[in-house]
A and B are shown apart, each in its own frame.
Chain A
Amino acid sequence: MSVATVLQRCRDEGRAALVGYLPVGFPTVPGSIEAMRALVESGADIVEIGVPYSDPVMDGPVIQDAAVRALAGGVRVRDAFTAARAVVDSGAAALVMTYWNPVLHHGVESFAAELAAAGGAGLITPDLIPDEASEWIAAARRHDLDTVFLVAPSSTPERLATVAKACRGFVYATAVMGVTGARATVGEAAEDLVARTRAVTDLPVCVGLGVSTGDQAAELSRFADGVIVGSALVRCLGSAPSEAEGLTRLRTLATELADGVRRGRA
């Protein structure tokens, strides 16, 4: 399922999409896939499947710790393809979010081919800017995959145009300057960035970084095409005394967020 189809459907319903991030392999590979299914059942439209990486410079402590645990548990890059298949089968679009070296080491062309074969929609690449991405963009176009790059509050109009031009699917707007992790407020800089991004592209713009509550999701959904939530969901799994309790907490939060993206424009 393509991201464009999902975002169009949400737009037709007069709401923003809920995009939920979970790393594959946390707490275990089957446990993470179970959690992704729960996320979709609770209302996520798109699942971002995180590939745990040893040096995640864009991530705060919650996702760093999850990556450490997933890697210690033996997660492999190829597990992201298994997760993508499971997400698609449960009815959502699957985007893989990965730092660049695991893709590069796997082989860009074979990564694209395997992701496409698993039904994945494309990649979000937090440390790959379009200037360095020609090989990936070419492979993605060959395999009909989305290429989601990030823009930030620091992005100049020239950079916004460069990045948006390389994107397919949507443009990922980081709401704040910083790494992943829940924050008390996320609105102001995000709204400005979304407006500046819309000035240079017709692509949907989804907002992430720092979002953790239904109210924040509602606030962002007033002006964003999608609301991206990561650390807050991961924390549900990481802080729970058991896997079952983790899933319960995850469903509760995802339901709250799904409600948020539905009432923001009401």
Chain B
Amino acid sequence: MTHAPPGRFGGFGGRYVPEALVPALEQLDEERRKAVVDPEFVGELERLHQTYTGRPSIITEVPRFAQHCGGARVVLKREDLNHTGSHKINNVLGQALLTKRMGKTRVIAETGAGQHGVATATAAALLGLECVVYMGRKDTERQALNVARMRLLGAEVVAVEHGSQTLKDAVNEAFRDWVANVATTHYVLGTVTGPHPFPEMVRDFHRIIGVEARQQVLDLIGRLPDVVCACVGGGSNAMGIFHRFIDDAGVRLVGLEAGGSGIASGKHAARFSTGEPGVLHGAYTYVLQDEDGQTIESHSVSAGLDYPSVGPEHAYLRETGRAEYRPVTDDEAMAAFALLSRTEGILPAIESAHALAGAMQLGRELGPDAVILVNLSGRGDKDVHTAARWFGLLETPGSQPALGHQDPSGTGGSR
């Protein structure tokens, strides 16, 4: 690896922001560098991991699911069991503690699926910070339960009506708020993109996922996995589990992007399939864009992966060949969602179901000797409504409930 300038991963990353935010980014960078070597900060974060989040999260081997993965051994890293239901809490607690250290009293966040918003609202409640969460109008509708959850936690949720009314527009609105209120406000960016130092800092707060999982897999199986699978929206859970494995040359790192209705349909969020390098939300990375550099709207059944850009370190890992990225369609992800639910009694987040679908592909490619580690980044409670509609499990007026007569996996038989 060559020496890149600060905030760059090879040529990717950087700091493409209004000048007004530069002092805040410099302060944040300085503060997080000090914090990670300050025993008080490190100790407090560790205490919260253990007594609040529930770390270390366990791993679970899933043999009944693995029968559908070419017989490979499949192990899940259970970030879904964290407090608030996803990996997002790891980063949020770190940033909320930094907010206090910087003497700021208000946090803002963007959210797509609502998981990052819920985690931020939770940390704000825990640490006594004012909290505003920006969420695209479309996402507030498809993730209504998480909106209520954030409000119960004391956060204000603002539905963003501009543009595509999804995650990218929520990020725009959060930046606008931040420029106006930066003196008192920290922007708890929820993924590994944005201007430096966010991609590096958010990755570092999630790195614990891979650190734990690597040792846990060694303890369980006696060797490293052949493949690590993770879904990639912005890419925080993927960077979190990948990073500790980067120097393990024999471990394939596979990121699964939202293929939506299929690449050919144009309705997807597979930045590495059809995107090109460009700047969005402060970073130089891969972006879905048209011939004039205008952002193209992404599409996915998963609100958390429905984002036209991706963290710059992923762009770098792809460019260097250290990681590979594949699209998973809505159909494939939902089939994996149903399969894990029925074979293992675990409802995954639809985001994480993309990683499970990737494991099914890779297991079939590699066969029964392979060991596949999957980051189960979140739980599916928030997706019950979406999944129920997808599989037709909701009672419609004048009909019997369809529950129990459906065959979500499409492989025959009803239960």
Q: Which residues of A contact B (CB under 8 A)?
A: 53-58, 60-61, 64, 68, 71, 76-77, 100-106, 126-129, 131-132, 149-156, 159, 163, 174, 177-179
Give the residue name and chain of the B residue nearest to A176 (CB).
B180
Specify which chain A residues have a CB less than 8 angstroms from the CB of B292 in the assembled complex.
76-77, 102, 105-106
In the bound assembly, the distance between CA atoms of A127 and B361 in angstroms comes to 41
CB within 8 A of B293: which of A57, A106, A127, A151?
A106
> What residues of B have a CB within 8 angstroms of the CB of A71 in the complex?
294
Contacts of A100 in B (CB 8 A): 16, 279
- B162 contacts across to A, CB distance below 8 A: 61, 64, 68
**Closest A residue, CB atoms, query B277:** A104
Task: Point out the residues of chain A lying under 8 angstroms from B17, CB to CB.
Answer: 127, 129
Question: Judging by beta carbons under 8 Å apart, are B172 and A177 in contact?
Answer: no
Task: Give Cα A132 to B22, complex, Å.
Answer: 12
Chain B residues whose CB sits within 8 angstroms of the CB of A53 once the complex forms:
294
Given contacts A55-B281, A76-B292, A105-B289, is CB(A132)–CB(B18) below 8 Å?
no
Residues 167-188 of chain B, each 1 if its beta carbon lies under 8 Å from chain A, else 0: 0110010011001111100000
Contact string against A for B residues 251-284, beta-carbon threshold 8 Å, 1 for contact and 0 otherwise: 0000000000000000000000000101111100
B402 at the interface (CB under 8 A from A): no
Q: Given contacts A101-B293, A159-B22, A177-B183, are A55 and B16 in contact (CB under 8 A)? A: no
Residues on A with beta carbons closer than 8 Å to the beta carbon of B280: 55, 101
Interface presence of B55 (CB below 8 A) = no
Known: A57-B172, A129-B15. A159 touches B180 (CB 8 A): no
Select one of B23, B291, B295 contacting A55, CB under 8 A. Answer: B295
In the assembled complex, the CB of A150 is this many whole angstroms from the nearest CB of chain B, namely 5
A-B residue pairs in contact (CB < 8 Å), sample of 7: A77-B292, A101-B287, A102-B292, A104-B278, A129-B22, A155-B23, A178-B180
Complex-state Cα separation, A96 to B57, whole angstroms? 52
The residue that B176 contacts in the complex, of A54, A101, A149, A179, with Cβ under 8 A, is: A179
Q: Which of B16, B24, B278, B287 is A154 in contact with, Cβ under 8 Å? A: B24
Contact B179 A55 (CB under 8 A): no
Given A154-B24, A155-B23, 11 new contacts (CB under 8 A): A55-B163, A55-B168, A64-B162, A68-B162, A101-B279, A105-B293, A150-B20, A153-B20, A154-B20, A163-B19, A174-B20
Which 6 pairs across A and B sit closest by C-beta, in order of nearness? A105-B293, A152-B20, A178-B180, A102-B293, A57-B175, A54-B295
Q: Is the CB of A68 within 8 A of B163?
A: yes
Q: How close is A31's CB to chain B, nearest CB, in angstroms?
A: 20
What is the minimal beta-carbon distance from A151 to any residue of chain B, in angstroms? 6
State in angstroms the CA–CA spacing of A214 and B22 once bound together.
32
CB-based contact A102/B294 at 8 Å: yes
Residues of A within 8 A of B182 (CB): 154, 177
Residue B94 lies at the interface, judged by CB distance under 8 Å to chain A: no
- Nearest A residue to B24 via CB reads A154
Q: Are B22 and A101 in contact (CB under 8 A)?
A: no
Contact of A127 with B278 at beta-carbon distance under 8 Å, contacts A57-B175, A102-B294 already known: no
- Near A by CB (< 8 A), chain B positions 312-367 give none
Instruction: Give chain B residues whose Cβ lies under 8 Å from the Cβ of A106.
Output: 292-293
A55 and B172 within 8 A (CB): yes
In the assembled complex, the Cα of A105 lies from the Cα of B179 at a distance in Å of 26
Residue among A60, A61, A152 making CB contact with B19, cutoff 8 Å? A152
* Nearest A residue to B164, CB-CB: A54
In the complex, chain B residues whose CB is within 8 Å of the CB of A155: 19-20, 22-23
CB neighbours of A105 from chain B (8 A): 276, 278, 289, 291-293
Give chain A nearest CB distance to B274 CB in angstroms.
Answer: 14
Q: Which residue of B lies closest to A178 (CB)?
A: B180
Contact pick for B278, options A68, A101, A152, CB 8 Å: A101
> Is B168 touching A154 in the complex (CB atoms < 8 A)?
no
B180's contact among A54, A55, A179, by CB below 8 Å, is which? A179
* Residues on the B chain within 8 Å of A127, using CB: 16-18, 279, 282
Residue B14 is within 8 A (CB to CB) of chain A in the complex = yes
* Complex Cα spacing A153 to B179, Å: 11
Task: Across the interface, name the chain A residue whose C-beta is closest to B18.
Answer: A58
The answer to whether B278 touches A179, judged by C-beta atoms less than 8 angstroms apart, is: no
Assembled-state Cα–Cα distance A131/B278 (Å): 17
Contact residues in B for A151 (Cβ distance below 8 Å): 19
A246 to B22, CA, bound (A): 37
Look across to chain B and name the residue whose beta carbon is closest to the beta carbon of A103.
B293
CB distance from B177 to the nearest CB of A (A): 9
Please state if A104 and B293 are interface contacts (CB–CB under 8 Å). yes
Cα distance, A77 to B24, chains bound together (Å): 32
Chain B residues near A58 (CB-CB < 8 A) = 18, 176, 179
Cross-chain contact of A56 among B15, B172, B281 (Cβ < 8 A): B172
Q: Nearest A residue to B168 by beta-carbon distance?
A: A55
Residues of B1-43 whose CB lies within 8 A of A:
14-24
**Mask: chain B, 234-258; 1 = CB below 8 Å from A; 0 = not:** 0000000000000000000000000
Q: How far is the CA of A151 from the CA of B19 in the complex (A)?
A: 6
| Interface contact B295-A150, CB-CB below 8 Å | no
Which residues of A have CB within 8 Å of B294? 53-54, 71, 102
- Chain A residue nearest to B289 (CB atoms) is A105
* In the bound complex, CA of A71 to CA of B279 (Å): 19
